[in-house]
Amino acid sequence: MPSLSQVNLESYLLAQLSTPLDCLVCGAENCQSAERCLRCRAPVALARQAADCKREPAFVAVLGAGGVGKTVFLGMAMDMLLRRVGGLRATVRGPHSISLQQTATTALASGWYPEKTSMNPEHWHWVHCQVECGRRRKVHEIVLADIAGDAWAQEADRPGSHVAAPAILAKCAAVMVVADAERLHAGDHNADFVVHKLLSTIGELSGGSRRKPDPRPLALVFTKADACPRAADDPLGFAESHCRALLTDCASRFPNTKVFAASVAGASANRDLHGRRRPVPLRIEPRGVVEPFGWLLTQL
């Protein structure tokens, strides 16, 4: 006699997976269970986290050419914000939001600077965090990405080379331009051209006319100020004397521009690794790292 057995049809699981989830960055439809967006490779979790927020998170576009110090600066800033240093209290949303801080602090704690950020969008660090600031403890939701400087340079030359980059430029609510004080002091302006092109792209993408000033805040941050005391003491004076064209471009496109100087290391030295001389941080003494974020948030 045949025996009967019961099999549960869990078709509701298939129905759940068939509901697409729009990528927060590029808007492409993704499967609910996907880890990275199939188009821009940003974490799909950003969209899931944003769905839980009361208001849409504000994108901060962090621009800067290769080697200007974005990963060190942003990683240290996240570490300090999460430790609630400097009057700002941050809470990260999603485990992917911790990897930037982890990459930077792990390297610095072992006596090295982090590796150059990969050109592969799969390896870019994305942070979604909630930050409380000001006396009234106003809550902001922000999203930022640490994109490889070489990818920004490619995007500046050939717009659309990387899907995530123009998406950030199109929807950013605030801009942070990262510039290397040491290189500017030495008269090296190669990195400026990347920023000029990207700022121009932001203007084009937002469709703003040149007559209407862009109300979005822009923080121009000079990194490696430990190696350039002039920038640390007077960031605006340094900008006027060492990169006037960059400052003028920022301020004419974004009248709400403020200049900052920051450093993560107290000093650097060179050390041999597999026959190659590499700079290493001698002491970790962050200065001026949280201030640009504090200002941008109050301006949002």
Burial group, residue 168, by CB count within 10 angstroms (0-12, 13-18, 19+): buried
Residue 67 sits in the site that holds ligand GTP (CB under 6 A): yes
Based on CB atoms, which residue is closest to Zn ion, 47 or 63? 47
Residue 293, contacted partner among ligand GTP, Zn ion, Mg ion, none, CB below 5-8 A by kind = none
Binding site for Mg ion (CB under 5 A): 71, 117
| Residues in 137-166 at the binding interface with Zn ion, rule: CB under 5 A | none
39 binds, among ligand GTP, Mg ion, Zn ion, none (CB under 5 to 8 A by kind): Zn ion
Residue 273 phi, psi (nearest 5): -135, 115
Stretch that binds ligand GTP, among 63-71, 85-93, 205-213, 243-251 (CB under 6 A): 63-71
Cβ of residue 125: shortest distance to Mg ion, in angstroms?
9
Residue 40 or 227: the one with the smaller Cβ distance to ligand GTP is 227
State yes or no: residue 69 binds ligand GTP (CB under 6 A).
yes
* 116 lies in the binding site for ligand GTP (CB under 6 A): yes
- When asked if residue 102 is in the footprint of ligand GTP (CB under 6 A), the reply is no
Residue number with CB closer to ligand GTP (34 or 98): 98
Specify the residue for token string 């990260």.
Answer: 92
27 φ, ψ (degrees, to nearest 5): 85, 0
> Helices 164-171 and 149-157 meet at what angle, rounded to 10?
80
Task: Indicate which of Zn ion, Mg ion, ligand GTP, none lies near residue 49 (CB less than 5 to 8 Å, by partner kind).
Answer: none
Q: Say which residue the tokens 């003491």 belong to.
A: 233
**Contacts of ligand GTP in 211-270 (CB under 6 A):** 223-224, 226-227, 263-265, 268
Which CB, 25 or 142, lies closer to Zn ion? 25
Choose among 155, 167, 237, 137: nearest CA to 195: 155
Distance CA 179, CA 196 (A): 12
Task: Please say which residue, 148 or 198, places its beta carbon nearer to ligand GTP.
Answer: 148
Residue number, 67 or 86, with CB nearest to Mg ion: 67
Q: Is 168 in the site for Zn ion (CB under 5 A)?
A: no
Segment 19-58, which members bind Zn ion (CB under 5 A)?
Answer: 23, 25-26, 28, 37, 39-40, 42
Q: Is 148 in the site for ligand GTP (CB under 6 A)?
A: yes
Using rule CB under 6 A, residue 208 touches ligand GTP:
no
CA distance 94 to 46: 8
Binding site residues, ligand GTP, CB under 6 A: 64, 66-72, 113-114, 116-117, 148-150, 223-224, 226-227, 263-265, 268, 279
Binding site residues, Zn ion, CB under 5 A: 23, 25-26, 28, 37, 39-40, 42
